[in-house]
Amino acid sequence: MENNTYKTSQLLEILGVSRDALRYYEERGIVKPNQNETNNYRNYNDFDIYALLVADFYKKRNLSMKEVRKLQEGIAIEELGSLLEIKAEQLEETIQNNNYMLQKIKETKAFCEQLKDHLNQFSIREFPTYKVIGEFSDFFSFMEYPAILENMDMMKDDILSKIMRKYIVDENGFLDSKMYIVEKYESIHKEKSGCYLRYDKCIYTIVEDGRYQNGNDDIQDKVFHSTLEWGNEQGLKIKGIAFINTRLITYLDNKERAFLEIYIPVEVE
């Protein structure tokens, strides 16, 4: 290999990298160009180009520059194989997490699209299956939230999606409530043990809560009585429970708008 020399501008053109990227490689010791003492220009040689090609090769295989530098110093093939296996496992986990997040994005986008059709409107819908994995007293009992954290994957799950309020109700209104820590259960076949929530027929609606819409007013009773009135008109008898999920929160004028999904199970003939 001839030991030619190249200016920075030539190297950028040859490799298609930016000046900042080149400085990044230099700062991490991937290349150490000679510097002209008279004009401070950097001079790169053929081996510098080769080192940068190798660095890019392994960067595209998820190695850090620190790991590439170690590789330059000398590494056994077996050790390299083990390192690549670790990188593969890390990427597989990242792909799984990204796919999980993508599904959440799609679900939230779908909710935004159906919001106008269900906001303050009533219909009949099946309640999805949830597994109850814990409970606590109230949404604002923040000191109890560590119990939620114990039952979630912090890399994938968010607290709002892991909690659900259950109300005990009668024809006069709300009697009691508790918060469940839940996990949406996709499988049709339930495990032998555990508590599951699933109802074939529910009155379904979406309502807006939050300071922008209601200030500090509590909309529970208003929502319940309008729902019960609609159910009576349809000849439906409620089971005495209701479930509320927080599905979307946005802001206007620095005040939150919370969109709540409400399911009230009814008797099935």
* Cα distance between residue 203 and residue 261, in whole Å: 11
Q: Is pLDDT of 108 > 90?
A: yes
Q: Are residues 14 and 128 in the same domain?
A: no
Residues 6+ apart with CB under 8 A from 52: 11, 15, 17, 25, 30, 31
Return all residues near 204 (Cβ < 8 A) that are at least 6 apart. Answer: 118, 122, 123, 124, 125, 261, 262, 263
pLDDT average, residue stretch 106-134:
94
* Residues 70, 127 within the same domain: no
Q: Domain range spanning residue 63?
A: 5-75
Give the CATH number for residue 136: 3.20.80
Question: Two tokens at 269?
Answer: 């003939």
Nearest residue to 139 via CA among 182, 184, 195, 180: 180
Is residue 215 predicted with pLDDT exceeding 70? no
**Domains in the chain, number:** 2
Given this model, what pLDDT does residue 95 score? 94
- pLDDT by residue (tens digit) across 38-87? 777 889 999 999 999 999 999 999 999 999 999 999 989 999 999 999 99
Indicate the pLDDT class of residue 181, thresholds 50, 70 and 90: very high
- The two tokens of residue 237 are 């008898």
Closest CA to 230 of 200, 196, 264: 264
Helix (H) or strand (E) holding 256: strand 255-265
Which CATH number is 32's domain given?
1.10.1660.10
Mean pLDDT of 227-238: 90
Q: How are beta strands 173-184 and 163-170 bridged, if at all?
A: antiparallel
Token look-up 């659900």 returns 164
In a domain, 113, yes or no: no
> What is the token pair recorded at 186?
């996709």
Q: How far is CA 113 from CA 7, 110, 120, 203, in A?
A: 55, 5, 15, 20
Q: Beta-strand (E) ranges in 28-104? A: 34-35, 42-45
| Mean pLDDT calculated for residue range 254-265 | 92
pLDDT of the residue at 117? 93
Confidence band of 114 (pLDDT split at 50, 70, 90): very high
Are 124 and 210 contained in the same domain? yes
The greatest distance separating any two alpha carbons of the chain, rounded to the nearest whole angstrom, comes to 93
Residue 124 domain-assigned (yes or no): yes
- In this structure, the answer to whether residues 148 and 52 fall within a common structural domain is no
pLDDT band for position 34 (cuts 50, 70, 90): confident
